[in-house]
Structure 1
Amino acid sequence: MKSKRKRVLLAVVGTAVLLAAGVFGVWQYRRATWRYPYSPETRQLHYSEAMMSFVYFPSMETTLRFADNVVRGVVTEVGESPFADASGMSFSIRVKETLLGAPTPDTLTLYISGDRESGVAKPHQNDDLVLFLIYYPDYEIYQLAEREAAMFAVMPGNTLYAFYTHPSFVEYDNRPVNDLYTSILEAAINIRDNPDEYEDTFAPGDILDGLLDPQSDILSPLESIVESAS
């Protein structure tokens, strides 16, 4: 009788363990695949008031001229500021492809000042992003080249969400990601073909330096990506 009860108890415990493992597995899967539901309302909520102080509205060209790299990557981890004396958030980005600029590490650290509810908009865990970045080698971190104008989310279905509220950026909402790639390429070609307009840029990024160098083939990777997606 005791042996039978023991077998029943073991069966019940085993079933409970399997159920718990299944629930934990489902939770892990949902955590790993959950995507933040961006919408026009969230864009207004997270809009950085600092943008209002700009003397110009950012465009693809103005964003590119400050950037060292343009990449597409996924947020794999969200953390606190890496600086003890400055508020902000850090984001580990697994790089899927480099569109412009020198190759980046497979995983890079993006730092954005302010907490979740203040300053520049912040991405979320598992976000698939297109980022225009400035690299700070002394700290081994990257920052957005032009606040919200330097960040787009790629939503399920491979369509876009723009973080910046200017109509010229909002028009990318729900469009295929290759439309953005094409616009980046066109803006880069415009810079390359009009060097007089950009050669006096204050604190230019590596991308601008490459575009103004007649010997550079900086556009080749992005040209190949756009062509293969067409």
Structure 2
Amino acid sequence: MRIVLVGPPGAGKGTQAQHLATHLSIPAVSTGDIFRSHVSRGTPLGRTAGQYLDRGALVPDEVTTDMVRDRLAEPDAAGGFLLDGFPRTTGQAEALDKILADSGVPLDGVLELRVAADEVVRRLSGRRQCRAGGHVCHVDFAPPAVAGICDSCGSELYQREDDREDTVLRRLEVYARQTAPLVGHYAERGLLTAVDAVGDIAEITERALAALRERDPHRTAG
């Protein structure tokens, strides 16, 4: 199957992408992984992307699209893939449509992981990271034995800038602006299925698999 996974920050896309890809025996393709691979290998695309990443700017759509096209042409993606982080906008969705049309294969479905904004804020703003080893805990879901101290190494825990409540709310605003049209784009084509992304990880995975089985029971059986 060829699947796109969308959802707000904190929805658990990365975790679900790995679980679903394992169940479906297809690669999980993350734009973050693609960027890191190209930059570390020093490819022409990686050098171009690095110029933007180094100054904290967004990588242009055409560069991102070229990287995705190269990745989807690799042998392990011939039988299907799960895209996490691309497309993010309708422009990128149209670029993906062209990539697939040029390859003569369809997109089978788009899973939208739905989480309420207050739950996203709770998930992300509760995260704490230690200064020494980068270990992560959560003040509600996995609190440290001693407040403010890392269980693993004993160093100080702190809240990353990206996890501050005001930053999370701004990220949600950006997601809503960019992705609401994308969701509508796929809904109009009959490709979108919403999945409740609140609860146990395994339960969410099963909901997503059940949604895919409804779309194509033969290819997701077992």
Q: Greater strand percent: which structure? A: 1
Q: Return the TM-score normalized by structure 2.
A: 0.26
Q: Greater helix percent: which structure? A: 2
Q: Return the TM-score normalized by structure 1.
A: 0.25
Larger RCO of the pair (alpha carbons < 8 Å, separation 6+): 2
